[in-house]
Amino acid sequence: MPEHVFLVDNTTGKKYRLNGVLPSASLPAGSAAGVAKAFAPLIRYPVEELPPKVDLRNDMTEIENQDPLAQQIGSCTAHGFAGAYE
């Protein structure tokens, strides 16, 4: 098992776990049947139609402080998916 790596806030002494992704032992549903589609053919814009930059901060959910238990199990990926779903 890989070693746990933490980022420490020097002002509070709080530890935040990094690299907490736990790889799945199974394939996503439908992947074995070839259900997944390539993304590029579905949405493609010429460079001229794209803005130089986009500010998405107003569309983002608030950052959540993951409790110490979450730091042990590495649930930051789950929080990311929950935010994307919202």
Q: Provide the pLDDT for residue 40.
A: 64
**3-state percent helix, strand, coil for the chain, nearest multiple of 5:** 25, 10, 65
| Chain segment 57-86, per-residue pLDDT in tens | 888 777 766 666 655 665 566 666 676 766
Which amino acid type is present at position 62? E
Q: Please indicate, yes or no, whether the overall pTM of this predicted structure exceeds 0.85.
A: no
Domain locations in the chain as residue ranges: 1-21+73-85
Q: Return the percentage of the chain with pLDDT > 90, whole number.
A: 14
Q: What is the pLDDT averaged over residues 23-41?
A: 66
Q: What is the pLDDT averaged over residues 8-18?
A: 86
Q: Provide the pLDDT for residue 53.
A: 93
